[in-house]
Structure formats: structure tokens, C-alpha cells
Amino acid sequence: MSFHPNSDYVEDMELILALDLAGGLVVHGKSGNRAGYRPLSWGLAPSAEPETYLSVMRPRFLYIADLESIQGRTPQDDLVRRCAALVERCYLDRGFRSSAECAAVDGVTPVVGTETAAATIKDLREYQTGYLSIDIKGGRVLPWGIRPTEMLRRAAEMSFEGCIILNIEAVGTEQGLVWEDLEEMRACYPGRLFYGGGVAGVEDIHLLADTGFDGAIIATAVHRGGVPLDWIQRGHPC
């Protein structure tokens, strides 16, 4: 078991609030079953209206998944811009399908998801900005079926600012993380690396820090009390 350079600096990790938008509302994502997503009416905020929700949560950093655009429907760009204006930094997965689309919304960091971005892995080289979201189901990268570690090795030769490991099946489940899996993935990629999906609480945040991850994308664990709200508001673990 080895420790990476930032293992003693948990406060250097970015803690990013995940915001799934569908039909103009904040919805609760779980296990990638998008047809079953419902407005987030049970969390810390009294409203699923995005701007009201964000005024209560007050995150420093925000990750938006525009589920309408990701599924090929009309993008919610105006709403995304208003939400992005309320935070210091906003990462946006809009289901980008070309490098030109990455400029569609000003003031955000584009997140290019493997699920939608390219027909082949080689085509990802067309993207020159943003983060690559390595979208995983069943332990394999969508849509090509390779292991996440192999995708990370290939991404290291591309022009992305960093990568996100997104375990879609684990989203909203708080199932927890596995040290060996995280350590193996971290060893395959030298750049900035975030993780989302299944983070259960403070112990998982420390686990990600100890294995060298630079950020965590979370939501359910905050609403259920596993991660303190003020950590999200600070943007780093306290």
C-alpha cells in the first residue's frame, strides 16, 4: 500500500456538488436509471427549483449533468448559465458530441463523457479542452467495454485538463469505495483525477485523498449527512 503526494493534504481536494437537471428541476440520480429520476424533494434544500436549491446549498464548486441534452433532447443552456453564475467554478456534462459543442455555454468547464462524445476512442483526440468523464457501467467504460485503467492510460496521451471516473451504477447508492480499485486507477493517469459515484461519507473522502485523487463529485452523501454541508460550501474537506 503506497501513499501519493497529496495524501497528507485532504484540504487540497475539490469537493464538488453534483446537480442533475431534468425538465428544469434538480432530480435525484440513482444507478443511471434516468427514466426513474424524480425531483429532489427530500434533501437539505426545500425546493427542487435549481436556483432556490443552490441558494440553500451554496456550493463553491458545481458539477451539472444536463440530462435533457445528454439524452438528445433540447439543452437547458439558459438554466445552466444561471446556475453556473452562482458558484466559483462549474463543470458541465452536456452530452457533448463534438469539440465545437464545448463552447456552447460560456463560463463553464466542459465535461466530455465517453458515453456520448465519440464513435471511437481515437476520435476523442479531437477534443482540446475540458475534462474527460470516463463513464463506467458493469466495471467497463461506455460504450467500448474496456477497463477504466486502459482508458486512463489512453487519456494520458490526450489534451484533456483532467479525467473524471464516473461510476454510473453507483450514483446515489452510497455503496462506498474500494482502496485497491482507486489505487490502480490513480497509478494509470498522471493528471488531475476526480471521482464520482457511490461516495458514502467522510471515510471515502479520505480514501480518495490517500490514493491521490484531486476531487470528489458528491450529492446523496451530503443530503443524507454522510458528508457535512459546510465541506461542500468550502469546496474542500475541513
Q: Domain extents for the chain?
A: 10-234
What's 177's DSSP letter?
-
Which residue blocks in the chain are alpha helix, DSSP H? Answer: 50-57, 67-70, 77-84, 148-155, 179-187, 202-210, 220-223, 229-234
From residue 187, alpha-carbon distances to 3, 76, 199, 227 in Å are 11, 36, 20, 26
Give the pLDDT of residue 2. 39
CA distance 133 to 87: 21
Give the pLDDT of residue 6. 44
Closest CA to 93 of 72, 69, 73: 69
Q: What are the pLDDT digits (tens) for 198-207?
A: 899 999 999 9
Q: What are the pLDDT digits (tens) for 48-66?
A: 999 999 999 999 999 999 9
Give the pLDDT of residue 4. 41
Give the pLDDT of residue 30. 65
Beta bridge partners of 61: 89
Contact 63, 204 (CB under 8 A): no
Sign of the C-alpha dihedral computed for residues 186, 192, 198 and 199 taken in this order: positive
CA distance 233 to 221: 14
Question: What's phi and psi for 54, nearest 5 deg?
Answer: -70, -30
**pLDDT < 50 stretches in the chain:** 1-9
Contact 65, 20 (CB under 8 A): yes
Does domain 10-234 fall under CATH 3.90.1150.10? My reply is: no
From residue 64, alpha-carbon distances to 26, 37, 121, 148 in Å are 10, 15, 24, 22
